[in-house]
Every structure is written in structure tokens, then in C-alpha cells.
Amino acid sequence: TTIKKITTCSILCGFISTGAFGNENLKSFITVGEGYNGEIKVETTFNGNNISDIKVVDHKESNFTKRAMKKIIKEIIERQNIDVDNVGGATFTSKGLKSAVTSAVAKGNIKLTEKKLAKKVYKNETTDVVVIGAGGAGLTAAIAAKEKGVNVILIEKMPMIGGNTNYATGGINAANSSIQLSKGINDSIDIFIEDTLKGGKNTNNKDLVTLMANSSGKMIDWLVERGADLQDVGRMGGQSVNRTHRPQGGKAVGPNLVDALSARANELKVDLRVSTTATKINEKDGVITGITVTSPDGQPYTINSKAVIIATGGFGANEPLVASYNENLKGFGTTNHKGASGDGISLTKELGVDLIQMKEIQTHPTVIPTNNKMITEAVRGNGAILINRDGKRFVNELDTRDVVSKAELSQKGNSAYLVFDQSVRESLKAIDGYYNKGFLTEGNSPEELATKLNISNKKFKTTIDQYNSFVKNNKDLDFNRNDLPRQLNKPPYYAVEVAPAVHHTMGGIAINKNGEVLKNQKPIKGLYAAGEVTGGIHGSNRLGGNALIDIVVFGKIAGDNAANLSQEK
């Protein structure tokens, strides 16, 4: 017999507690990432003493060990078939987790409370602001609206929150942040705008870029006040100044942001509903009236509200849609989570909203071709170089992504090797994750590494020596790279094969400076959008680190304005 139970899963850190919960309206603030500590509630399905299914339904802050959390999340991810990059270092297998739980049950260490799972009947309801999508933009919008004192419902179609924001690694850009100032970094709003427009080939919406740059420093403070760690500042492609903020030691930024924002949303008691999908945006006479959703068990219901914020992310994981806008990208892999399917575009089709720059789709140049795992641009920013199969550099590694991607595709094998040394590794904690997952080839000398890569030792070594001499003289005579942070001379040396994969959809829904969605260039009353679902900010090429500042700046604007509108009589 199979009995459904819900157990507080603290078994792996040595104390046992159990509880039974309803299977409805499950609140899940599950995030993944380094340094996360939490207690996690899992729904386990037993067949006798054997576990036939485990599903996370809730967690709260507690003394749960990092390793145990990772193990459980890995299990969940595998079960839900969600591909998440930042699980980091987890070596625990599904089998291992199952046997740990099974043996705890067999020893009587877990007391099980049987619970009949009543089917919830969903009724239509009314709130002030409804936010679709619990990634970085949606969480920010929900927090901003809730901090203004209005009621907010935040829905997320996946079983866990965070979307692509969970995967973000390299950092978040801002000019004149207090962290930059404290480090003596001399940046300016104007240079940030200039770099962004140059990166986007001057096809960006300049008003939105200016607003983003002007708000960027304050937004870093806003995030830090809400618990984010953004103390490390580095550089990425297309930037003239170090302005990419990330957690201390160079850890991945996304999980840190999602943890901080989800904790704040939790504290504010934002009504978050996971496994809940928006299927329609409702309007009457051109005015928004709310949305229709499907519940976790597939029942439709309506959430009425005067203000709706679309924060559904991009469409990088929807290959047919990507190929319909750019057929050259047919068959490319993607770095995106599978929820990046372009729902914002289909949800607004009936409303006839303005879509802009839909053909502008970015590939990320350092993605492992065999598994689509992205190696953060920060590795290049901190000193790594790209070497082809002839043992030579072929591009300025800090050029924009379109340029580097194109250069890679014209090398033998349509890929290249990202090469660095131990000093680059020590500068960026995120690299430990790649190492632990076995992504890196390692050699004690450039020659040994070259042999493992099947590249001429001599040419490979000459390239490294030459690059080191450029660093020494602070001038890249071959490719004019503008930042040469360190020589590559500390063994061991590392390499990983990389090629371009679909990464970011720059086009999307047109918005104005209030975050309002436009139709024939005029705002639709009650409809807002923020994040990767929108278009125009990045033009034809987004700079690394600019997506996260975009999503939080415009998430906050949409949340504030939607809250104000919801209170209008």
C-alpha cells in the first residue's frame, strides 16, 4: 500500500520531527545555492518502508546543514526534472537519500503521521496586486508593493521559485554604488550608460537605460538592506570600469539574491503560490481586471486585481520560438531553466501589446557543449583566456558576447578552451563548483594541460608566455584586451571546452518608464511588466551583469506603481 505522508525532513542532521500538512496552497521558498541553511519539509510517498517519491513542500530557516540541504534539493531537482546549475558540489544520489530516509524509518527514527489529502476546491478571489512569476523581477515587485502596505499574490508555475535568477553567477552591475565608492572605484552614471549603449549597438531605449543606470547604485543598497551580499566587485565584457557586484569571494550571485528576496517576501507574508500557472490576463474595456490561473492540481480559478505585473522571464528555453525569430539559432543549446518558455509573450497576445526587438537573442560564449552548463564570464573577467585547437588566442576575451561567440564559431570544432590557472581559481569561489562537478581538465604545467587537450605543447606554452608578457606590460598587443588582471603562472592550470548557447532574450514586451505595458505606444491601465519578459533595454546585445540590475530596478518601479494604482478610488 502506498500512503502519502508529509515529514519535516531533518533526518540528515540528526534530529527528527514530523508533522502533517494539507496538500493545498503549499508555500515554498525553496532556493538553491551555496551557504544556504534551512529546514525543509518534504512530502514523501511510502510503499511500506520504501520511499517511492519525495517532494519538497516547504522549508524554513533553521540549522539544516548546507550539505544536507544540497542533497535534498538535488533529489527534488532530479525528481522534478529541473536542471539547476547552482546545486554545487552535491555528490548525494537519489538512491542515497532514499536509503537514508528508508533506514531512518526502519529504525523508528521518524514518526509518521498519516494524513488524508483532501482535494482543495479553489475559489475565485480578489487582491490588490498580482505578480506573475517569482524570479528576481517578480520577487522584487512583490516586495516593493507589499512594503507599500497593499495585498499581493505572487504566483509561480514551477515547484520552486527563482527562475533564471537562480542561475545567475557573474554578478549585478551598478555605477556609483556605496560598495564601489568604499573600494575607491571611480565610476560614473554616464560611463555606465555609454558602455550599455555601445554594447547594445545603440539600439537600446535610451530613456530606460538612463533610468536603470541612475537607479543602479541605490538599488544595490536596497538589496543589501534586504540581506544580499554584493561586496565583491569585478569586471565583465564591454565594461570600462569594475562595476559587477557579487557575493564575497566571488560566489554565484543569483542564489544569494533569491535567498535574500525570498526571505524578505516570507517576512512580509507575501502570498506566494508555487506550481500555479497564469493562463490568461483578464481585461474589460481596455482595463485590466486580474488573471486566470491553474492550481497545482490543474483547477482553474481567477484572481481579480486592479494591477497585474508580468514577470515571467524570457523565452530562451523555447527552442521553436527562438528559432522562429532567429533561424540561425535552431538546434543551439540553452543555459536557461525550462520555465523560460515565453509565457509572457503568449499571455499578452490577445491583448495586442507592443513587442519590440524580438529577433535580438543573445548567445553566451562560454557554455560546455556536452551539458549546456554555463561557465561564468567572471572567469574571463578575473583573468582566463580563450585558446583554440591550434593553441592560439583568437579574440579579446572581454569583448561583448556577440563578438566572442562569433569568433568561437569560426574556430576549428566551433568551440574553444577557456584556460586559467590556480590564481584565477582562488579569485572566484564559483570556480570551485565547476571543479567539484568535474568540468575542468587539470595540468601541473601548461605543457601537461596541452597534452591532455590534444593541443601542441609548444604553441600552447608560447601563447601563455606571450599573454603573461602582455599582463606584465599592461598592454595586449594581439587583441587589445582592456583589463589584464593577473598573469597565468600559478599551477595547476585548468581548461574547459566552451561554445555559444542561447542565453538571453533581449526583445519582449514594450514598457515605459513607469513599468507600464504599452499598446500602440500607450499604457494599458493596470498592466505592468518587469524583467527579461520586457524588451528594449539591452538593444541588440546585453552586457554581462546588466540583466540583474534591469530586473530589480524595473521590478521595484512596477511594484511601487502597481501598489499606488491599486489604491486609486
Binding mask 73-92 for ligand FAD (x = CB under 6 A): ------------x-------
- Find the DSSP H helices in 171-274: 178-182, 189-199, 206-225, 253-267
Interface segment toward ligand FAD; rule CB under 6 A; list 146-154, 169-177, 320-328, 511-519:
169-177
Element (H, E) at 410: none
What is residue 184's three-state secondary structure? coil
The residue within the footprint of ligand FAD, chosen from 43, 156, 408, 560 (CB under 6 A), is 156
Among ligand MEZ, ligand FAD, none, residue 36 binds (CB under 5-8 Å by kind):
none
Out of 405, 541, 546, 561, the only residue in the binding site for ligand FAD (CB under 6 A) is: 546
For the chain, the farthest-separated pair of C-alpha atoms sits apart, in whole angstroms, at 75
Piece of 114-122, 182-190, 334-342, 437-445 that binds ligand FAD (CB under 6 A) = 334-342
User: What sign results for the dihedral spanned by CA atoms 335, 255, 58, 18?
Assistant: positive
Q: Which residue is nearest to ligand FAD (CB)?
A: 135
Enumerate residues 6+ apart whose C-beta is below 8 A from 349: none
Do residues 3 and 46 make contact, with C-beta atoms less than 8 angstroms apart? yes
Piece of 37-45, 150-158, 194-202, 465-473 that binds ligand FAD (CB under 6 A): 150-158
Q: Under the criterion CB under 6 A, does residue 411 sit at the interface with ligand FAD?
A: no
Q: Which stretch binds ligand FAD (CB under 6 A): 213-221, 395-403, 430-438, 528-536?
A: 528-536
* Residue of 42, 72, 137, 175 that binds ligand FAD (CB under 6 A): 137
Return the one option of ligand FAD, ligand MEZ, none that residue 450 interacts with (CB less than 5 to 8 A, by type). none
Tell me the number of residues near ligand FAD by CB under 6 A.
Answer: 43
Cα 420 from Cα 417, distance rounded (Å): 10
Q: Taking CB within 5 to 8 Å according to partner kind, which of ligand MEZ, ligand FAD, none is near residue 236?
A: ligand MEZ
State how far the Cα of 42 lies from the Cα of 9, in Å rounded to an integer: 6
Interacting residues with ligand FAD between 222 and 261 (CB under 6 A): 253
136 or 536: whose CB is closer to ligand MEZ?
A: 136
408 contacts 385 by C-beta, under 8 angstroms: no
Minimum distance of ligand MEZ from residue 389's CB (angstroms)? 23
Q: Which does 532 bind (CB under 5 to 8 A by kind): ligand FAD, ligand MEZ, none?
A: ligand FAD
**Which of 167, 315, 332, 417 touches ligand FAD (CB under 6 A)?**
167
Beta carbons of 545 and 171 less than 8 angstroms apart: yes
Query: Which residue has the closest beta carbon to ligand MEZ?
Result: 170
Q: How big, in percent rounded to 5, are the helix, strand and coil portions of the chain? A: 35, 20, 45
Q: How far is CA 538 from CA 122, 179, 206, 259, 547, in A?
A: 40, 24, 10, 26, 8
Annotated catalytic, 380? no
* Residue 1 half-sphere exposure toward CB, CA atoms < 13 A: 4
Catalytic residue among 401, 425, 481, 542: 401
Three-state SS string over 418-448 comes to EEEEHHHHHHCCHHHHHHHCCCCEEECCHHH
Dihedral sign (CA 129, 135, 137, 139): positive
Contact assessment for residue 182 and residue 278, using Cβ atoms and an 8 Å cutoff: no
CA–CA gap between residue 499 and residue 406 (Å, rounded): 10
* 192 scored as a contact of ligand FAD (CB under 6 A): no
Site for ligand FAD in 366-395 (CB under 6 A): 374
Does 536 contact ligand FAD by CB under 6 A? no
- Closer by beta carbon to ligand FAD, 135 or else 247: 135
Interacting residues toward ligand FAD by CB under 6 A: 85, 132-138, 155-158, 163-165, 167-172, 253, 277-278, 311-313, 335-336, 339-340, 343, 374, 503-504, 531-533, 545-548, 551
Catalytic residue list: 401
